[in-house]
Structure 1
Amino acid sequence: MEKIVNDILKEEIYYEKLKNGLDLFYMPKKGFTKKYAVFATKYGSNELEFIPIGEKDRIRVNEGVAHFLEHKMFEQPNGGNAFDRFSELGASANAYTNFTMTAYLFWATDNFYESLEHLINYVQTPYFTDENVEKEKGIIEQEIKMYDDNADWKVYFNALKAMYVNHPTRVDIAGTVESIYKITKEELYKCYNTFYNPSNMVLFIVGDLEYEKIMETVNKTIKTDVEILGDIKRFYPDEPNNVNQKEIVENLSVSIPMFNIGFKDIDVNLVGRELLKKEISTEIILDLIFKKGSLLHEELYLKGLINENFGCNHVSQIDHGYTIIGGESKDPYKVKDIVFKYIDKYKKEGLIKEDFERIKKKKIGMFLKYFDSVEFIANNFISYKFRDINLIDYLEVLREIKFEEVNKRFKDHFKEEYSVISIVNPK
């Protein structure tokens, strides 16, 4: 067992690599009533081409299979549903799939160790039959159609499709109706056996708990008769720097046009602290230029071009990244013009150092506040872990970031040639 201590946060994490390759982390939070656990695999919707465990040849699976697999994991061999047992124990549970990972989680105030045992058990017990796979296809088809009619989802995914030429990030996490109807139980088992190997997974636990009891629960529940994998051979198509298309416009049932302005990140294939530094630098830029309190936001708001739904965010993965600025507007093209007016202004004049220092201090305060949330800690720890980042290094990296680095990142990332716009207009 290794103990990781962070003197700035005054937090510690216990880490142990189990004999089957699973990475186990526990962060004690004395006095907290809520306890939280996440059992996650480094396997998301982007993993479409790989060499399955025990095989030699590369295969391509159907789009949406990772999300489909997550749905099926709740069905138990006895005909029950994994959620039922959590309810009996008084715990709340959930799961999600994104582009790069799948996570199964629960939180509880009582019966934590019993709930932890159940979490590990059901995630290790896949049960796929021809019948239950066919039944699930109709359920997921309805989910896909629901999102097809969701303007927020559509404007976002159209921005990704505009940015990316080949990268699987341009494909909806749930796949398409056509692709999910091709999924078979054999394909699900092949994906499960490859990516749900303990050596490709992380278990993170946070709360006021006893480490010895955690280890006792895990050791009696976790499977040990599995082969420890090396790195899974994953394959992704080459992605050029250029965007796929500058603009996608669609009509849906909305009362006011919606827009996403996207900036494709070409500074990719970073890991660890360098990736974290890039992410934090971009977040600082968003605070400086686009968020409430900025000159740009004030002008857009006073001109009646945006409302309270205006916002921005940055996604920073190892092999891809992007920034989205979006909201609702009666004139999305005018918003885009003003956005680029301010980008050009700050490129000529430079960002303001006093504002940079103020935002750094604000981000430090916000991050410390977030450590009162076990949900924030658990889900962010897992997300960062799969990018070779330790969450508790965040403050140290934030404090190290220099004004000159943020200025350079701003000039490199926010370029018109890497930008797109997605618009959803009223029908």
Structure 2
Amino acid sequence: MNKQTYNEFAETLYTEKLDNGLTVFLLPKNEMAKTYGIFSTNYGSIDQTFVPIGQKEKITVPEGIAHFLEHKLFEKEDHDVFTDFGKQGASANAFTSFTKTAYLFSATNHIEKNVKTLIDFVQDPYFSEQSVEKEKGIISQEIKMYDDQPDWQAFMGTIKAMFKNHPVNIDIAGTIESITQITKDDLYTCYNTFYHPENMTLFITGNFEVEKMMELIKANQESKKFEKMEELKRDFPEEPKEVAIKEHKINMPISIPKCTIGIKESSSELHGDEFLKKDLLQNMVLDHYYSKGGSFYQELYQDKLIDGSFYFETTLDKNFGYTLIGSNTENPDKFSKKVMEQLISTSNTSLTEEEFNRMKKKKIGQLLRSMNSLEYIANKYIHYHTSGINLFDIIPTIQSLHLNEANSFIQNWIEEERLAICTIAAE
């Protein structure tokens, strides 16, 4: 078991890769009453086309199958796993994103029992034709619910406007039509391909004994048999540099319009340290321009183009990336025009040393505050780990960033062909 202390965070992380390939991270925080565990697989909604384990030809599975599989793993032949966690005083949940599926719990007691329950239910799939058909009705209702949510439609509408071919433009839950095609055999194919320990990460943080916890996890895994992991072969279509639709309009029964500007980011050519630097600079520059303390935010607010719903976010992943800036607004055309003009004008601007140092200090402060959250630490660590980055290396990387790197990023960040607008308008 590898032990690494990070003085910037006053944290000690224990790491071990087990014989079956499972990577385990243990971060004891004995000052906490709670313990949080997350068992994650490097498999999300975009992984639709791949070569199944034991086969030679690639297949394409129905849209929404990763999310469907997440739902079904909680249901066993004779019981529901949520009931098990409830009896053990734990709160359990799961989520599917574009790139990963994760199962989690938090609890203040029966920690070892809850960790064992977490690992065992994920590694013991049970799918029957009857339960699969029943789940289709449940997920259909979930899809219909999201179809009626303006915020989700604004998000996916902007993603669809940006990406032409990449499966990130497909709703994580799929469509009602696509989930009707899912079979029990499809679920087992995806499970057997992507839920191998070699493709998974277990992260436990909170109040527990490290040695005892690692012994429990090792004994649990040694009692199970897994075939040797083959190389995963995923396939993604070529994605053009420019956006798919410059302006995308969706009509819904709403009282106030919504408008989102999307920036189609690129990440496919970046790895390791360069990937992390771009990820940090995207976040820092976006915050500099659009946080409430920024001059441009004040300008939008004073012009009554935004309200309290205004937001910005940015995501960088291994083969796609995007930035979103949006708000409820009575004047979506004026809002989008003003934001687009500001973004395009950034190529002619530069930061001062004082501004950039302030941005770095703010980012470090935000990170240190976030590290008080067990959920943040575990989820962020896994997110960066899949890209070959250690979360605890972020502060040294921020400190090492130079002003010329930030200004180079800003001056090359925006190209008009990579900007899209999505408006949710009243019917």
TM range (shorter): over 0.9
Q: Is the 8 A contact 2:75 2:81 kept in 1?
A: yes
Gaps in structure 1 of 5+ consecutive residues: none
Q: 2:415 & 2:328 partners in 1: Cα distance?
A: 23
Q: 2:311 & 2:103 partners in 1: Cα distance?
A: 29
SS of the residue corresponding to residue 250 of structure 1 reads: strand
Q: 2:343 & 2:127 partners in 1: Cα distance?
A: 52
2:128 corresponding residue in structure 1 = 129
Residues 19-39 of structure 1, C-alpha deviations (whole Å, 9 max, x = no match): 111001101112111111100
Q: 1:349 & 1:422 partners in 2: Cα distance?
A: 26
Q: Is the 8 A contact 2:2 2:14 kept in 1?
A: yes
Letter in 2 for 1:314: T
1:145-160 to 2 correspondences below 5 Å: 145-160=144-159
Q: Which moved more, 1:48-57 or 1:219-228?
A: 219-228
SS of the residue corresponding to residue 57 of structure 1 reads: coil
Cα drift, residue 274 of structure 1: 1.7
Q: 2:60 & 2:303 partners in 1: Cα distance?
A: 50
Cα drift, residue 170 of structure 1: 0.3
1:169 corresponding residue in structure 2 = 168
SS of the residue corresponding to residue 260 of structure 1 reads: strand
1:106 corresponding residue in structure 2 = 105
Q: Is the 8 A contact 1:284 1:356 kept in 2?
A: no
1:233 corresponding residue in structure 2 = 233
Letter in 1 for 2:355: D
2:369 corresponding residue in structure 1 = 369
1:51 corresponding residue in structure 2 = 51
1:216 corresponding residue in structure 2 = 215
Residues 23-78 of structure 1, C-alpha deviations (whole Å, 9 max, x = no match): 01101112111111100100000000111111111111010000000000000122
1:400-415 to 2 correspondences below 5 Å: 400-415=400-415
Q: Is the 8 A contact 1:269 1:320 kept in 2?
A: no
1:21-420 to 2 correspondences below 5 Å: 21-78=21-78, 80-222=79-221, 224-420=224-420
Letter in 2 for 1:187: D
Cα drift, residue 344 of structure 1: 4.4
Q: Is the 8 A contact 2:259 2:326 kept in 1?
A: yes
- When the two structures are superposed, what TM-score results if normalisation uses the length of structure 2? 0.97
Residues 160-215 of structure 1, C-alpha deviations (whole Å, 9 max, x = no match): 11111100000000011110000000000000011000110000011121112112
Q: 2:125 & 2:41 partners in 1: Cα distance?
A: 14
Q: 2:326 & 2:410 partners in 1: Cα distance?
A: 18
Residues 300-338 of structure 1, C-alpha deviations (whole Å, 9 max, x = no match): 100111001111111000101011000111112211222
Q: 1:116 & 1:259 partners in 2: Cα distance?
A: 43
Q: How many residues align structurally?
A: 426
Residues 123-156 of structure 1, C-alpha deviations (whole Å, 9 max, x = no match): 0111100000000000000111111111100011
Q: 2:133 & 2:346 partners in 1: Cα distance?
A: 55
Letter in 2 for 1:229: M
Q: Is the 8 A contact 1:296 1:338 kept in 2?
A: no
Q: 1:96 & 1:326 partners in 2: Cα distance?
A: 24
Cα drift, residue 247 of structure 1: 0.9
Cα drift, residue 355 of structure 1: 2.1
Residues 213-245 of structure 1, C-alpha deviations (whole Å, 9 max, x = no match): 112221232254112314301110111111111
Q: 2:399 & 2:119 partners in 1: Cα distance?
A: 37
Q: 1:228 & 1:83 partners in 2: Cα distance?
A: 31
SS of the residue corresponding to residue 30 of structure 2 reads: coil
Q: Which moved more, 1:182-191 or 1:28-37?
A: 28-37
Q: Is the 8 A contact 1:198 1:228 kept in 2?
A: no
1:19 corresponding residue in structure 2 = 19
SS of the residue corresponding to residue 13 of structure 2 reads: strand
Structure 1 segments (4+ residues) deviating >4 Å: none
SS of the residue corresponding to residue 68 of structure 2 reads: helix
SS of the residue corresponding to residue 187 of structure 1 reads: helix
Q: 1:183 & 1:322 partners in 2: Cα distance?
A: 29
Residues 253-309 of structure 1, C-alpha deviations (whole Å, 9 max, x = no match): 211110110010134332322211111101111111112111111111001110011
Q: 2:304 & 2:384 partners in 1: Cα distance?
A: 38
SS of the residue corresponding to residue 387 of structure 2 reads: coil
Cα drift, residue 346 of structure 1: 3.7
Q: Which moved more, 1:133-142 or 1:351-360?
A: 351-360
Q: 1:273 & 1:361 partners in 2: Cα distance?
A: 20
Q: Which moved more, 1:352-361 or 1:380-389?
A: 352-361
SS of the residue corresponding to residue 255 of structure 1 reads: coil
Q: Is the 8 A contact 2:347 2:413 kept in 1?
A: no
Q: 2:43 & 2:172 partners in 1: Cα distance?
A: 12
Q: Is the 8 A contact 1:49 1:234 kept in 2?
A: yes
Cα drift, residue 360 of structure 1: 1.0
Q: Is the 8 A contact 1:75 1:81 kept in 2?
A: yes
Q: Is the 8 A contact 1:19 1:224 kept in 2?
A: no
Gaps in structure 2 of 5+ consecutive residues: none
Q: 2:267 & 2:240 partners in 1: Cα distance?
A: 12
